[in-house]
C-alpha cells in the first residue's frame, strides 16, 4: 500500500483501516484492541481519532504513530498475515521517514542556494557601489586639480589676471594657498585689513612699526603656507 503511512499534524501515522487491511484482521477486532489497550498505546503519545459518518452513523477512526501501530500488532495473534503486516508497516514507516528526510535536505539545499545567491547579489551590488563612489571621488579630485592647474597657469603666464568669472570660495581658498606656498605671497581681503592693522598696532607698542608689520605679514604667510595644519589644530581645539 503506497499510502499506508502518511503525514498528519506534523507526524507520521497510519490508521485502523490500513492496519486491518495489511493484517487481514477484522476492523471491529482492531477497534476493540485499541479500546482495550488504549492506556498502553498512549504511553507512546496521544491517540488521535476523528469521527467519520458511515451509513448514517458516526464511526471513530483512530490514528496511530509508528510505536503505537507496532505495539498494537504485537497484541494480535502471531499469524502469518500479522507477521507480514509487521514487516510491511516497519518498512512503510522507514520509507516515509527517508522520503521526508530527503525532502528536508532538498529544501535546505534550496534555502542555502537562495541565501548564497542573495549574498552574491549583495556583494556584487556593494562592489559596484564602491567602484562608483571611488570613481565619483576621482572625478571630483580631477575637477579641482584641473581648476588649480588653470589658476597656476594664469599666475605663471599672465602679467595681469583676467578671470572671466568670479571665483568660488573653494577656488579662492586654493588660490590663496598656492600664492603663499609656491610664490611666497599673501592675499589679504579688504575686511582683513583692519584686523591686521589692529594686531600690528598692538605689536608696535613693544617693537618698531616696521618689525611689527614684518612679523604679522610673516605670520599670515606662514598660516597660508601651512593652511591644513593650522585648520586641523583649530578643529581639535573646537572639539574639546
Domain boundary among 73, 107, 141: 107
The tally of domains found in the chain comes to 2
> Taking Cα atoms as reference points, which of 26, 10, 18 lies closest to residue 92?
18
Q: Rounded to an integer, what distance in angstroms lies between the CA atom of residue 12 and that of residue 102?
A: 15
User: What pLDDT does 32 receive?
Assistant: 93
Q: Is residue 112 part of a domain?
A: no
Range of the domain at 55: 6-107
> Is 126 inside any structural domain?
no
> Which of 107, 133, 157 corresponds to the end of one domain?
107
In a domain? residue 43: yes
Kindly state whether residue 219 falls inside one of the protein's structural domains: yes
Beta-bridge partners for 7: 12
- Asked which of 49, 74, 107 is the last residue of a domain, the reply is 107
For position 56, what pLDDT does the model report? 73
| 70 located within any domain | yes
The grid coordinates of residue 132 equal 562608483
Judge whether 66 lies within some domain.
Answer: yes
Kindly report the number of other CB atoms within 10 A of residue 48's CB atom: 16
User: pLDDT at position 209, please?
Assistant: 67
| Buried/exposed 204-235: b ≥16 CB within 10 Å, e otherwise | beeeeeeebbeebeeebbebbbebeeeeeeee
Spatial CB neighbours of 1, under 8 Å, sequence gap ≥ 6: 18, 21, 22, 88, 92
pLDDT of residue 114: 77
Sheet (strand 6-8) strand order: 6-8, 11-15, 57-64, 48-54
Query: Tens of pLDDT along the chain (240 residues)?
Result: 668 998 888 889 999 999 999 999 999 999 999 999 999 999 999 998 888 877 677 888 999 999 999 999 999 988 899 989 989 998 888 888 888 888 888 888 888 777 777 777 777 777 667 676 677 777 777 777 777 777 776 666 655 545 556 778 888 788 888 888 888 777 777 667 666 777 766 666 666 766 767 777 777 778 878 888 878 877 777 776
pLDDT score for 203: 66
Q: Which three cell numbers stand for residue 226?
A: 601651512
Same domain, 101 and 188: no
- pLDDT for res 109: 82
Query: What integer pLDDT is reported at residue 144 of this predicted model?
Result: 74
At residue 235, the pLDDT reads 78
Is residue 67 included in any domain, yes or no? yes
Does 159 map to a domain?
no
* pLDDT at residue number 65: 93
Amino acid at each position: 500500500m503506497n499510502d499506508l503511512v502518511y503525514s498528519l499534524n506534523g507526524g507520521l501515522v497510519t490508521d485502523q483501516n490500513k492496519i486491518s487491511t495489511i493484517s487481514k484482521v477484522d476492523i471491529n477486532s482492531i477497534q476493540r484492541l485499541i479500546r482495550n489497550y488504549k492506556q498502553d498505546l498512549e504511553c507512546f503519545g496521544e491517540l488521535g481519532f476523528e469521527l467519520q459518518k458511515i451509513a448514517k452513523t458516526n464511526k471513530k477512526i483512530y490514528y496511530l504513530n509508528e510505536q503505537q501501530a507496532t505495539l498494537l500488532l504485537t497484541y494480535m495473534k502471531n499469524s502469518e498475515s500479522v507477521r507480514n503486516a509487521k514487516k510491511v508497516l516497519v518498512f512503510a514507516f522507514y520509507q516515509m521517514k527517508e522520503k521526508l528526510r530527503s525532502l528536508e535536505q532538498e529544501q535546505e539545499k534550496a534555502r542555502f542556494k537562495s541565501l548564497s545567491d542573495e549574498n552574491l547579489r549583495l556583494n556584487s551590488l556593494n562592489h559596484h557601489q564602491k567602484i562608483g563612489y571611488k570613481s565619483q571621488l576621482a572625478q571630483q579630485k580631477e575637477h579641482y586639480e584641473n581648476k588649480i592647474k588653470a589658476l597656476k597657469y594664469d599666475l605663471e603666464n599672465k602679467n595681469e589676471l583676467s578671470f572671466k568669472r568670479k571665483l568660488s570660495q573653494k577656488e579662492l581658498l586654493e588660490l590663496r594657498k598656492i600664492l603663499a606656498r609656491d610664490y611666497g605671497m599673501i592675499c589679504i581681503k579688504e575686511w582683513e585689513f583692519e584686523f591686521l592693522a589692529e594686531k600690528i598696532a598692538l605689536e608696535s607698542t613693544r617693537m618698531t612699526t616696521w618689525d611689527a608689520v614684518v612679523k604679522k605679514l610673516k605670520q599670515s604667510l606662514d598660516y597660508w603656507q601651512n593652511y591644513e595644519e593650522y585648520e586641523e589644530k583649530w578643529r581639535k581645539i573646537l572639539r574639546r
